[in-house]
Amino acid sequence: MIKLENVNKWYGSYHALADINETVAKGEVVVVCGPSGSGKSTMIRTLNRLEAIQSGNIFIDGVDIHARSVSVNALRSRIGFVFQQFNLFPHLTVLQNCTLAPRRLRKLPAKEANDLAMSLLERVGLAHKAGAYPGELSGGQQQRVAIARALAMNPPVMLFDEPTSALDPEMVGEVLQAMKGLAKEGMTMVCVTHEMGFAREVADRVIFMDQGRVLERATPESFFLTPEHPRAQRFLSDIRSPMAGGGISLAS
């Protein structure tokens, strides 16, 4: 479904992505994790060309996404992307946020678009907020609308860039619920996330990145129980017990 071949990206002299070679099969749920600055967000953003690459190839559904014949807008309409900051359109209602693209890009008539949007909002549990504006919703609600908005274009693949990192802890669960529902229905998903519980429950594979490279790929069980790469081991222990090794001792 998705294939990255020898992908490299530089920001000036900083090597942001180094020799990335990965494949995601149809229906797979892949979680990408790693420390800050590891390049995981950059990598997922190259998949819908929000970031450019200097060398290598990316194939989605067999098509080279950088080919001249590929229209970037058409490509993006076939990929669902959910942002860390939700990025809903504040001047439109929740319903309008979801129907904008289907009506304008897929030329759906108003009634069909509205029905489609309402059914998606039902799925994420927000049908009762269809007439509200994003400013009136909590962070968790906004993110669920963002998921519905992305699904409205019926994409074969959904990308999530740290979807719960900007949320207060009590709202993380409702968003992860929505994402789990999607995974169960067989959606191909790539998620950059720190939510290890989600990864363990839903992911088929975990990819660990640091400094622009993929250091380890494994099934969730083997990754979380017996990580192989030393950097991965350190990362997991930092997450589990942030105060253990290397903290500042106040007693000295």
Partner 1 sequence: MLDIIQTYGLYYLIGQYPNGPLGGLLMTLILAASALVLAFPVGVVLALCRISPFAILRVPVTGMVYVLRGTPLLMVIFWAYFLLPTLTGQRTDQFGTMLVALVIFDGVYLAEIIRAGILGLPRGQMESSRSLGFSYLSTMLLVILPQAFRNMLPSLVNQFVSTIKETSLGYIISLSEVSFVASQISAQLPTKPIEIYALLGLTYFVMCFSLSRFAYWLEKHLAVRSAKV
Q: What is the contact surface with partner 1 in residues (CB under 8 A)?
A: 48, 50, 73-79, 81, 83, 85, 87-91, 100-101, 104-105, 133, 135, 146, 149-150, 153
Long-range contacts of 138-141 (CB under 8 A, 24+ apart): 138/171, 139/86, 139/166, 139/167, 139/168, 139/171, 140/167, 140/168, 140/170, 140/171, 140/172, 140/174, 140/175, 141/171, 141/174
Query: Between residues 118 and 153, which has the closer beta carbon with respect to partner 1?
Result: 153
Structure tokens at 26: 């149809």
Residue 52 makes CB contacts below 8 A (sequence gap 6+) with 9, 46
Given the complex with partner 1, which of 18 and 50 has the nearer CB atom? 50
Closest CB to partner 1 among residues 63, 105:
105
Q: Among 183, 96, 178, 114, which Cα is nearest to 143's? A: 178
